[in-house]
Structure 1
Amino acid sequence: MGFFNKNEKYCDCCHKKLGIHFFKAKDGRICKECFYESRKKGIQSTRKHTVNELLQNMNDNKYFCETCKKELKSDINRVNGKYLCNDCFKSFKQTQKEKNIALKEEQKEKKIREYTLSKEKAKNFISTSNVGEYIYFNDDIEEIYIPNFWVGPSFIKYSEILDFELLEDGTTVSSGGIGRAVAGGVLFGGTGAVVGAVTGKHKGTNISNSMEIRITTKDINRPVVFVKIFKGEHKKGSFIYNAYRTDAYKILSMLQIIVDRINKTQQVNEQNSNNNFSVVEELKGLKELLDSGVLTQEEFEKQKSKILNR
Structure 2
Amino acid sequence: MSSFFGKNKKADGKDLKKFSPTTKIGNHLWIDENNKLLMISTKMYIKPKFLLSFDDLISHSIMINGKTLIKSNGVGRAIGGGLLFGPAGAIVGAITGSSKDKSYVNILMISMEISQNGKIKKENIPFIAGTKTKIDSAQYKTIEIEMQEVINALDKIINSK
With normalisation by structure 2, the TM-score equals: 0.69
Match of 1:125 in 2: 19
3-state SS of 1:196 partner: helix
Question: CA 1:124/1:229 → structure 2, altered by over 3 Å: closer, same or farther?
Answer: farther
2:63 alignment partner, one of 167, 174, 186: 167
Shift of residue 130 of structure 1? Answer: 1.5
Tell whether 2:86 aligns with 1:196: yes
Which 4+ residue blocks in structure 1 deviate beyond 6 angstroms? none
Tell whether 2:152 aligns with 1:257: no
Question: CA 1:241/1:161 → structure 2, altered by over 3 Å: closer, same or farther?
Answer: same
Whole-angstrom distance in 2 between the partners of 1:254 and 1:224 = 18
Question: CA 1:181/1:149 → structure 2, altered by over 3 Å: closer, same or farther?
Answer: closer
Question: CA 1:236/1:135 → structure 2, altered by over 3 Å: closer, same or farther?
Answer: same
The higher-RCO structure (CA 8 Å, 6+ apart) is 2
Whole-angstrom distance in 2 between the partners of 1:254 and 1:242 = 19
In percent, how many aligned pairs have the same letter? 12
Whole-angstrom distance in 2 between the partners of 1:113 and 1:226 = 13
Shift of residue 182 of structure 1? Answer: 7.6
Whole-angstrom distance in 1 between the partners of 2:114 and 2:89 = 19
Match of 1:233 in 2: 132
Bigger Rg, which one: 1
Contact 2:20 2:32 in 1 (8 A): yes
Instruction: Give ranges in structure 2 of 5+ residues lacking alignment.
Output: 1-5, 79-84, 96-101
Instruction: Give ranges in structure 1 of 5+ residues lacking alignment.
Output: 1-110, 184-194, 263-310
Shift of residue 148 of structure 1? Answer: 2.7
With normalisation by structure 1, the TM-score equals: 0.38
1:208 alignment partner, one of 79, 89, 105: 105
- Aligned pairs for 1:76-87 (under 5 A) are none
Matched length: 137
Higher helix share: 1
Contact 1:174 1:199 in 2 (8 A): no
Task: Name the aligned partner's letter for residue 29 of structure 2.
Answer: I
Shift of residue 133 of structure 1? Answer: 0.6
Shift of residue 196 of structure 1? Answer: 2.3
Whole-angstrom distance in 2 between the partners of 1:113 and 1:155 = 7
